[in-house]
Structure 1
Amino acid sequence: MQCEYFGICGSCRDYEEGYEGQLERKVAAVQEMFAPLFPGGITICPSTPERYRSRAEFKIYHDENGISYAMNRHDRQGALKIEHCSIVSATIASVMDKLLAHINDLGIGHKLFGVDFLASQEGEITLSMLYHKALDDEWKSNAQELEKRLGVYVIGRSRKQKLILSQDYITEKLRINDREYRYIHIENSFTQPNPRVNEQMIEWSLAQLEGIGGDLLELYCGAGNFTIPFATKFERVLATEISKASIHAAKQNMALNGVENIEFVRLSAEEFTQALDGVREFRRLEGLKVSDYRLKTLFVDPPRAGLGEEPCAFASRFEHLLYISCNPETLLRDLEILSRTHMVTAMAAFDQFPYTHHLEMGVKLTKKETL
């Protein structure tokens, strides 16, 4: 990928020797990091080198020449004005090219300080416009015209205000092992930003779960990105998540894909542990008998902070563990704890964020006494 902003823009930080060079450096680093725990080969799941991001956020820069897109500078010395971005999807790039001119024409650029894009691989897109002012009926009327001109869904946001003109979500389609899955992705909520790598993550994870059977427990399930395909491998799935909006979307996605063997519950990982051990009772579990589940497999995809000592102690109860991590450093810490009871049997690296130091990891662990 060729980009005139490499070395100046703070988004892409590792650009020497192109895409292959940055991936090779990241893979070498994690191979060395995890060698004491897993000397075997790490499966590498690369990204496309450009047009891979389906979610993007840009500042809006105001000066005497009007409004421009902007990003933080690599040297942290203010903002960098940009005209285009090579890592956003073709759908987002197409809208970016036209958007600012229409904002100027419709007179809705005053106090606008940011624009967030969320796109599907099928071409749907939400456009969240962020303002330092209250939004009124005049703004709404002009924003509705913007929707018509660009064929997008516009959401207006300001302090304590969110205006949805038609809808605040897109429907994504993922192709997993020759099967199509559909997901509702809501703007301003977590979604995987690189759909092609996301497909590879799910396919690799499904391969690790082959032949285990029984019931699955998933913590940090989000909107069901992994949960719904995983339901094909187990009799029942019990999935927990603390976010009310994510649980709502997960239930919609389950219905959208015709899946019936998942129970989504709004509980934190700590709360679920308390419920499973009979320490506390929760109304949110009313009518659900957790003790009836044959939970021998655990899947976790935690935040960057990882699990930590107590959640790892809970995880160590399970025969099979599958761990997706967005932070190799906290993953290493957790694996050093889990290695007391489990053996790492497979590992993968997913390049969700090319040209950065970030690399997502997948780890399959099996309890030592069952090997």
Structure 2
Amino acid sequence: FKLFGIDFLSANSGEIVVSLLYHRTLDAAWSQSAAKIAKELDIYIIGRSRGQKVVIGQDYVTEVLNVADGEFRFQYIENSFTQPNSRVNEQMIGWVLKNLADTSSDLLELYCGAGNFTIPFAKKFRKVLATEISKASINAAKTNMLLNSVKNIEFVRMSVEEFVQALDGVRVFNRMKEIEIASYEIHTIFVDPPRSGMDEDTCKFAARYENIIYISCNPETLARDLALLCQTHTVCDMALFDQFPYTHHAEMGVKLVRNSVL
């Protein structure tokens, strides 16, 4: 009755969150019916209507990723971004790890989401500084850091534009007051932007660093950004990941090294 959409979130363990979207207020009778269905199917159910969220069980699943002989645990929260194909996701993380040499320096990550890449990368670097504009994703990233007993990551909720201003001393942000930017020795930047890619200013910012690793979910905007990045850097490795079989969508990974370093 007035149900207009259903979203599914699942993990390899078999955990499933089903979100039911309504054009009506959910009452006690709905909660009783949903609880009965959740028990019968061994799933979690979330009811959503305008200004209302009713959770039967929990609003997340726990995913386990096996990457490079290591195991990583992540909480995937309903209604937030996650990598949809876990097995291909493992391959993506593994490919990037192979392109990250063990180093005593630090890593900068833009668009970190819930820490999907950040947490496995932390074992390769002394410290990791990661930024993301979504508050929900930052909170999830901090939870996932604790789940994996990782302690050398600083997650900061701010846009790329704000972060560049903080890094260059143009503006002072309270969110950065406990982070000593000067203590970071960053030679590598990792970016995983949305389908729109990076704008010209962000590309110029990324070009400050010797090594750039770029994961893209849109080859067209990737090609546009590479036209800028290749003015200072050279592509030395590339991979394609088919997250969405039987569709035209594809994920790509590119590693670039500054020309003066080659």
Q: Return the letter of the residue paired with 2:12.
A: Q
| SS class of match (1:274) | helix
Q: Does 1:113 align with 2:4?
A: yes
For 1:222 and 1:310, the matched residues in 2 are separated by: 21
- Structure 1 runs, 4 residues or longer, greater than 4 Å off: none
Q: Does 1:207 align with 2:108?
A: no
Which digits, 9 at most, give the CA deviation of each residue in 1:100-146, with x for residues without a partner? Answer: xxxxxxxxxx1111111111001111010111111011111111111
- Does the aligned pair in 2 maintain the 1:276–1:291 contact within 8 Å? no
Aligned with residue 162 of structure 2, among 271, 283, 296: 271
* Partner residue in 2 for 1:355: 246
Show the 5 A alignment for 1:1-371. 110-371=1-262
- State the 1:193 CA deviation: 0.5
Q: Return the letter of the residue paired with 2:169.
A: G
| SS class of match (2:260) | helix
TM-score by structure 1 length? 0.70
- State the 1:231 CA deviation: 0.4
Q: Return the letter of the residue paired with 1:130.
A: L
- Does the aligned pair in 2 maintain the 1:127–1:155 contact within 8 Å? yes
- State the 1:212 CA deviation: 4.3
Q: Return the letter of the residue paired with 1:320.
A: N
Query: RMSD of the alignment, in Å?
Result: 0.8
How many residues are matched?
262
**Percent of counterpart pairs with the same letter?**
62
For 2:160 and 2:108, the matched residues in 1 are separated by: 11
Gaps of 5+ in 2: none
| SS class of match (1:370) | coil
Gaps of 5+ in 1: 1-109
Flag the structure with larger Rg. Answer: 1
TM-score by structure 2 length? 0.98
For 1:309 and 1:326, the matched residues in 2 are separated by: 18
For 2:213 and 2:108, the matched residues in 1 are separated by: 10
For 1:231 and 1:319, the matched residues in 2 are separated by: 19
Choose between structure 1 and 2 for higher RCO, CA contacts under 8 A separated by at least 6 residues. Answer: 1
